[in-house]
Amino acid sequence: MDTGTPGCRRCVRVVAALIESGGKVLITQRRPQAFMPLKWEFPGGKVEPGESDAQALRREIQEELGVAVTVGKEFMGLVHRYPDFDVDFHVYRCEIPASESPRRIAVQDFRWVELAELSGFDFPPADQPTIQKLLE
């Protein structure tokens, strides 16, 4: 899918949610059969044709964790180059209503972790700039 991002080849647009609560951030673990199996990441996924970033985030978080999210401002965006394709990656601050709790529906696992703990988890390369910015 071409996202129209200049300089992006075989581009895949991906959105992720930065969800913070009580000084911790929500991360999810990919399933064993996924691309880059068992890596940890910020919840989210691919933007489907015709979807806005916010629509994709709401859909992905509902599918993966069974909760609704309110999508806020963009935290950061970047293009990450993998050997065979590029990821046009955008991270948004999101909130989960206090009345809802994430469930493990379409993820291997999820955890609420302190920012200082993020470096102890195995994240894909595209997530590293987000982690670095969070730790600044």
20-50 pLDDT, tens per residue?
999 999 999 999 999 889 999 999 999 999 9
Query: In sequence order, what E strands does 30-123 have?
Result: 40-41, 44-46, 70-81, 86-95, 109-114
69: in domain: yes
134: in domain: no
136: in domain: no
Report the distance separating Cα 7 and Cα 72, nearest Å. Answer: 27
- Count Cβ neighbours within 10 Å for each residue of 95-130 and write b for 16 or more, e otherwise: ebeeeeebeeebbbebeeeeeeebeeeebbebbeeb
Number of domains the chain is built from:
1
Boundaries of domain holding 74: 11-126
Q: Collapsing DSSP states into helix, strand and coil, what is residue 15?
A: strand
pLDDT digits (tens, 9 = 90+) for 87-129: 899 999 999 999 999 999 999 999 999 999 999 999 999 999 9
* Residues 75 and 93: beta-carbon distance below 8 Å: yes
pTM exceeds cut of 0.95 = no
Report the distance separating Cα 17 and Cα 69, nearest Å. Answer: 9
74: in domain: yes
35: in domain: yes
